[in-house]
Amino acid sequence: MNQGDLALLTREALLVLLKLAGPVLLVGLVVGLVISMLQALTQINESTLVFIPKLVAVCATIALLGGFMMQTLGDYAHSVFDQLIVIGLGYG
């Protein structure tokens, strides 16, 4: 395994990480921003008010995108294992 292969694996891992975590983090960010704007408009300064809507939104996002996330992670795992087999055969 040379440095090019390692860089390719690292790049692919980071892209998979963005695909899996990006939508969940984006939904959490948007819900937090909306709740913060509502708190600023109504002048309700309760720090725990954001927690429940954000938790529900993140759980709903994971429930909706869970199949896509599992498929993406499975495809990445197959890719990594296939590359490990090719690398192992190259040294054998």
Residue 40 vs residues 16, 44, 49, 58: alpha-carbon distances, Å: 36, 7, 12, 22
Residue type, 14: L
Question: Can you list the alpha helix ranges (DSSP code H) found in 1-92?
Answer: 3-42, 51-91
**Number of compact structural domains in the chain:** 1
Residues whose CB falls within 8 Å of the CB of residue 82, separated by 6 or more in sequence, listed in order: none
Instruction: Residue 85: give the domain boundaries.
Output: 3-91
Span 27-80, pLDDT tens digits? 999 999 999 999 989 988 887 888 999 999 999 999 999 999 999 999 999 999
Say what the pTM is: 0.80
